[in-house]
Amino acid sequence: MKRLKYEAFFITPENRLIPVPLCLNHIDVICDHPELFGFTKDYVTEKFKKYNEPLRSEKRARSELMRETYKKGFIRLRYRKDHYWIAESENLFGNEKKREQIAGWIKFMLAHKELNGDAYMEVSELDTAFDETNPPDKESFHYFFSKVNEYPSIEIKYKEEKNDA
């Protein structure tokens, strides 16, 4: 199986795709480009200081920042080495727009030959009503996207693409 160009993404609330380079994690992108998520560098730095954690560490500050992105409407996508994708956000199951965004992302990946028809995805809806003393539990459900064409087409562009309008 060929190596994918990207193994992680964010989908923004505005339906833009933010690719996460292979050598980085989602938290690295938040730390490097906090403005894409409605944060400032100081805000992100303070989150890590609050827990006395090194910047970019994958512990409590990271979990808190990720939950904040989910509350803002971001969807986190990542590829697992067992040949499946995970989509995480808040209220995925009850939100038609988010389901359509994921379907649009799947079409984009199929069109760019980054997925095959047998790929499957674990979709996790996170309950963000928890705080740092009571971390969230994930309930995971598996959705098989063999019928992607049943979903309406949604255009997703890489953030560096420009409209010629």
CATH code for the domain in which residue 70 is found: 3.30.70
Asked whether residue 33 is domain-assigned, the answer is yes
In a domain, 164, yes or no: no
- Give the pLDDT mean for 130-154: 35
Percent of the chain with pLDDT over 90: 32
Cα–Cα distance measured from residue 144 to residue 21, given in angstroms and rounded to the nearest whole number: 26
Residue 114 has pLDDT above 70, yes or no: no
Q: Which residue has the higher pLDDT, 105 or 44?
A: 44
Structural domains in the chain (count): 1
Q: How many CB atoms lie within 10 A of CB 73?
A: 18
pLDDT higher than 70, residue 36: yes
Q: What's this model's pTM, rounded to 2 decimal places?
A: 0.70
Determine the average pLDDT of the residues in 80-95. Answer: 76
> Would 1 be classed as within a structural domain?
no
- Of residues 122, 121, 27, the one with CA closest to residue 74: 27
| pLDDT at site 29 | 93
102's enclosing H/E stretch is helix 96-111
Q: Match 């292979």 to its residue by tokens.
A: 22
Mean pLDDT rounded to a whole number for the chain: 72
What pLDDT is recorded for position 124?
53
Of the segments 3-7, 61-65, 128-132, which one has the largest average pLDDT value? 61-65
Q: Is residue 86 within 8 Å of 122, Cβ to Cβ?
A: yes
159, part of any domain:
no
d(CA 156, CA 139): 27
25: nearest Cα among 61, 77, 70, 67: 77
More confident residue, 17 or 42: 42
- Tell me the residue range of the domain where 123 lies: 8-150
- Residue 143: per-residue pLDDT: 33
The predicted pLDDT at position 118 comes to 52
